[in-house]
Amino acid sequence: MIHITSGDSAADLLRASGLPGEVIGWRDSAALGPSPGGISFAEYRAVRAAFRGVSAETLQDVDLLAALPEDEEMVLWFDACPYDQMILVRLLDWFGAQPARRALQLIEVGAFPGVEPFYGLGQLTAEQLAGLFPTRRAVTESQLALATAAWRAHGSPDPREIERLIERVEDGEDLPYLRPALRRLLEQFPAAEDGLSRTERECLEAVAAGESSFGGIFRAITRLEEPNHGCWYGDGELLSTLQELAAAPLPALTQTGDHFELTELGRALLAGEADWVARHEGDRLQRWQGGVHLEGKKVWRWERQGGRLLHGTLLSER
């Protein structure tokens, strides 16, 4: 038996749980950074390694699963957050394409009795994880098909593929946490209202509410994330976002050590009186969101009020 879960924390807990089998902690998630579709495993590994700042040889990717014994049962352990959901669909897409299908079991958790708020499997004890083992269920063909559709939509250069998939998928169907996770990823596109991703706006909101230290901002954003995903992208990504907001020639924040304060532009952004892309970033904007390369001013945006994608050419620059 081989257990696959997200990250080292949950993996270490599984190893301490007394459950039989080998444990693999999957570290890289396409929820962050570039994840273009239509390229080979080797090309994809190189893209992800460059994003992570590591060598391609050290980056995990699904082709390494081919070396696992085919007669071993696979148990996939994942929670509801976007980070976990994008690892899950990546794995299920790969397993679904294999001619010799391994026995696949899935444990998905969005809540746990007595743990409130619940952010993820890493919160649980080894004993609590062991208690989830009997809840595992065989992965179905419809789950594999949905995962493949989600993986392809996420890797498309047209983010409307994700939007269309969200419209087709009902909550509770097959992969119950996929729909809200995909919507949360769309919220990472620059907003139509201010050019800020949801994470960038939450950073500014936390500072405006009186949090100045990195630890305080981290805790505030953990409370702001609904559904209760916590800081699902990790403290490293949060710090990087804060530093980018502070390092620009016209910054939204100032940084002194691990403390941050709003600038005049930061206050204007929160008031809806400025646009981070049109007024500040200009042609410097270079960011990937899945298969979409956000570059320059005319980019895909997420309209918060309407809950829909718009292309930048439809928006007036402020």
Backbone CA torsion sign across 47, 164, 309, 85: negative
Residue 129 is predicted with a pLDDT of 96
- pLDDT above 70 covers a percentage of the chain that reads 94
Domain boundary among 157, 186, 215: 186
Alpha carbons 318 and 277: distance in angstroms, whole number: 9
For the record, the structure tokens of 304 come out as: 């918060």
Which percentage of the chain shows pLDDT scores above 90? 78
Domain end marker among 139, 157, 186: 186
Read off the pLDDT band of 100 (50, 70, 90).
confident
pTM of the complete model beyond 0.85: yes
Report the range of poorest mean pLDDT among 20-34, 257-271, 296-310.
296-310
Which of 146, 165, 186 is the last residue before a domain boundary? 186
Which CA distances in Å does 33 have to 86, 133, 223, 272? 12, 32, 24, 26
Domain assignment of residue 73, yes or no: yes
128 shares a domain with 13: yes
126 and 14 co-located in one domain:
yes
The reply to whether 192 falls in a domain is: no
pLDDT in tens, 248-291: 889 999 999 999 999 999 999 999 999 998 765 544 456 899 99
Asked if 145 and 168 sit in the same domain, the reply is: yes
List the CATH number of the domain containing 265. 1.10.10
Contact 161, 155 (CB under 8 A): no
* Single-letter amino acid code for the residue at 178: L
Query: What is the pLDDT averaged over residues 64-72?
Result: 86
When pLDDT is averaged across residues 181-185 and rounded to a whole number, the result is 96
Domain of residue 209 covers 198-314
